Amino acid sequence: MEGNLWPRIAVLGAGAVGCYFGGMLARAGATVTLIGRPPHVGAITRDGLFFDGLHFQQQIPVSASAEVSAARDAEIVLFCVKTLDTEEAAKSLLPHLAPSAAVISLQNGVDNVERIRSAAEIDAFAAVVYVAAAMTAPGHVKHSGRGDLVLGDLPGRVEEDGHRQRRLESMASLFERAGVPCRVSANVEGELWTKMIINCTYNAISALGRARYHRTTGNPWTREVMIKVIEESITVARAAGVRLPEVNMVETVLEISETMANATSSTAQDLARGKRTEIDSLNGYVARRGAELGVATPVNQTLHALVKLLEESV
């Protein structure tokens, strides 16, 4: 990754998040292979990735494959599969992963890096993702808000001569060159929890109320529910020993409805497509962790249960 050269990049899980960041890298000149489902792969192979962005609309030429083996030459793998598929995807990637390749988990939730390591002994880097994007048709990604990343290593990862830190800084620079704001955090665990708290606050309510983010906070009844979700989640995080950023978390989370006003949650998108959601890794995770730590989480439990009930009918 020295000079002006771009590393070879594979995106495992070419959904909205994978296509957004993979598309931005490819547009900037990186060699990118999107690995995803056949309908998207077919459209991208035929026509390129149609990127409907906030500031540009462009058909981006990019390689695509439905086979995990397409990651074999990648120097960086963006791991973007749904949390439901983390272990299976990690195991399928391992035989094709170059020994020196860096894997970055761009997923919801806080435990994917640990699950990737447990399933396949891959020491992935963590990424906190802030982007509002959706696949509106095969090979067609629509961007409606933000598009930035925070990278880091989770506690317990043994650093060797600063090698991983240098890789993090190099990868952050790579994203910046592609027009993706990216920074390295020394407390990515706290950053991941902050993002999960945001997801817990918006995802289920956006899905259940069929509302974009700005409507959820504009309604006084749902706003109060959202504040309760935040407060419960903060209590669980602190009980778990997580060092959250020193900000007013309620204000920080509710402000997301301004920066991502027209966003529709991934939970709402999954339900609309008749797919299982990631709610077990969001409100469900907070409820489970709370139970382990003796922290009551009635609002998170309720939202988790209601989304699970909807999943049964899709």
Q: Which residues of 136-154 are buried (b: 16+ CB within 10 A; e: fewer)?
A: eebbbbbbbbbbebbbbbb
Q: What is the CATH number of the domain that holds 281?
A: 1.10.1040.10
d(CA 291, CA 277): 22
- Residue with tokens 């439990």, as numbered in its chain: 301
Q: Are 120 and 89 in contact (CB under 8 A)?
A: no
pLDDT tens digits for range 145-154: 899 999 999 9
Same domain, 133 and 242: no
Element (H, E) at 59: strand 57-60
Model confidence at 159: pLDDT above 70? no
Structure token pair of residue 51: 């990127």
- Structural domain harbouring 220: 189-312
* Structural domain total, the chain: 2
Same domain, 176 and 207: no
Q: What is the CATH number of the domain that holds 158?
A: 3.40.50.720
d(CA 295, CA 314): 32
At position 53, the amino acid (one-letter code) is G
Is pTM beyond 0.75 here?
yes
Same domain, 153 and 239: no
Structure token pair of residue 166: 């240098």
Asked if residue 48 belongs to a domain, the reply is: yes
d(CA 314, CA 306): 13
Same domain, 25 and 97: yes
pLDDT tens digits for range 58-102: 999 999 999 999 999 999 999 999 999 999 999 999 999 999 999
Model confidence at 156: pLDDT above 80? no
pLDDT of residue 160: 66
Same domain, 236 and 110: no
Asked if residue 2 belongs to a domain, the reply is: no
CA 168 to chain centre: 17
pLDDT band at 264, cuts 50/70/90? confident
Same domain, 244 and 264: yes
